[in-house]
Amino acid sequence: MKIEYHGHSCVQLTSGGNSMVIDPYLTGNPTAVSKPENIHAQVVLLTHAHSDHIADAVGIARRNNALVVAIHELATYMSWQGCNVLGMNIGGKASVGFADVRMVQAFHSSGIIVDDQKNIIYAGMPAGFLIHWDGMTILHAGDTCLFSDMKLIGERYNIDLAFLPIGDLFTMGPEDAVTAAEWLRAKRVVPIHYNTFPPIRQDASHFVKMLGERGIQGIALKPGESTTL
C-alpha cells in the first residue's frame, strides 16, 4: 500500500488500483505541493468540518464521482453540495467496497464558519477513522487531544499505522501524541497537523526520536512524500 502525505492532515492511501484521500486541504495550504485536480480517489473521508480539513472535498469528490464518508450531519451538508455521500456515526462500521471504515471518537470541535454571514453551521461531532484494508488496520485520529479510551482502541484493534496530530494549540502536542501512540499500541506513526502555520510549528524529527525511545517506528513525511506499508 502506498501512503502519501499531502500536508497538514491530508493523506492518501492507494492499493490495487483503489485509492482514498482523507481530509483534503490543498487549496490555501501554504505547505501543499499537490494540486486538488491531480488527486484521483474513489473515496473521500472527512474527520470533521473545519475548513483546513474539507477545503477541497467537494471538488475532488465531484471530479472523481467519489464517495464522501463523514459523520451524518457533515455528510448531509456534503450531499447538498452535489456529492455522493455515506453518513455514519461514532462506533459504526461501513464498507466502501475495497475497505471497511470504522468511525471512532475524537475530542475537538466541528463546524463550518460562514464569515460573510457571521454564522457557524453545526456539522456533527469530530471523529477519527479506523481503516481495515489489505489485511492491515490504519488509524487516522483526526484532530484530537489525548483521551484515555485510546487504550481501549489499542486493546481491541491491531493498529499497523497511526496518523496522529502533533501541532499543539488546536490538538495534542508531541508529548501527548507519544503517549497516544503507546496507548494505541501503534506499530508505526506518521505525524500530521503541524508546521502548516506558525502557531502549530513542531520538530517532527524530535517527535520521531521520542517514539523510537519507546520502541515505536516514527515516519516523518514532508508534503508530497510517500512511503509504503
Per-residue pLDDT of the chain (229 residues; tens, 9 = 90+): 999 999 999 999 999 999 999 999 999 999 999 999 999 999 999 999 999 999 999 999 999 999 999 999 999 999 999 999 999 999 999 999 999 999 999 999 999 999 999 999 999 999 999 999 999 999 999 999 999 999 999 999 999 999 999 999 999 999 999 999 999 999 999 999 999 999 999 999 999 999 999 999 999 999 999 999 9
pLDDT score recorded for residue 217: 98
**Dihedral over alpha carbons 95, 101, 104, 108 (to 10 degrees):** -110
pTM score, whole prediction: 0.98
SS3 197: coil
In a domain, 59, yes or no: yes
In a domain, 22, yes or no: yes
> Quick count: other Cβ atoms within 10 Å of Cβ 222?
11
pLDDT score recorded for residue 199: 98
Query: Do the Cβ atoms of 81 and 94 come closer than 8 Å?
Result: no
pLDDT score recorded for residue 34: 96
In a domain, 77, yes or no: yes
pLDDT score recorded for residue 76: 98
Helices (H), the chain: 51-54, 57-64, 72-80, 150-156, 174-184, 204-212
CATH code, 73: 3.60.15.10
In a domain, 229, yes or no: no
Domain count across the chain: 1
